Chain A
Amino acid sequence: QSALTQPPSASGSPGQSVTISCTGTSSDVGGYNYVSWYQQHPGKAPKLMIYEVSKRPSGVPDRFSGSKSGNTASLTVSGLQAEDEADYYCSSYAGSNNLDVVFGGGTKLTVL
Chain B
Amino acid sequence: EVQLVQSGAEVKKPGESLKISCKGSGYSFTSYWIGWVRQMPGKGLEWMGIIYPGDSDTRYSPSFQGQVTISADKSISTAYLQWSSLKASDTAMYYCARLLVGAILDYWGQGTLVTVSS
Contact, CB under 8 Å: B50 / A48: no
Which residues from A are CB-within-8-Å of B61? 100
Collect the chain B residues with CB atoms within 8 Å of residue A103's CB.
44-47
Q: Smallest CB–CB gap between A33 and chain B, Å? A: 8
Task: Answer yes or no: B110 CB below 8 A from chain A CBs.
Answer: yes
The A48-83 residues at the B interface (CB cut-off 8 A) are 48, 51-52, 57
Interface membership of B95, Cβ < 8 A: yes
Report whether A101 and B105 are in contact in the complex, using a CB–CB cutoff of 8 Å: yes
Asked if residues B106 and A99 are in contact (CB atoms below 8 Å), the reply is no
A86 to chain B: closest CB distance in Å? 13
Contact flags A81-106 to B (C-beta < 8 A → 1, else 0)? 00000000101111000111111111
User: Do the beta carbons of A100 and B47 come within 8 Å of each other?
Assistant: yes
8 Å CB contact of A48 from B44, B46, B104: B104
The residue of chain A having its C-beta at the shortest distance from the C-beta of B49 within the complex is A98
A46-B105, A51-B106, A103-B47 known; 16 other A-B pairs, CB under 8 Å?
A3-B44, A34-B102, A36-B104, A46-B45, A51-B104, A52-B104, A57-B106, A89-B44, A91-B45, A91-B103, A93-B103, A99-B50, A99-B103, A101-B47, A101-B103, A106-B45
Binding site for B on A (CB under 8 A): 3, 32, 34, 36, 38, 45-48, 51-52, 57, 89, 91-94, 98-106
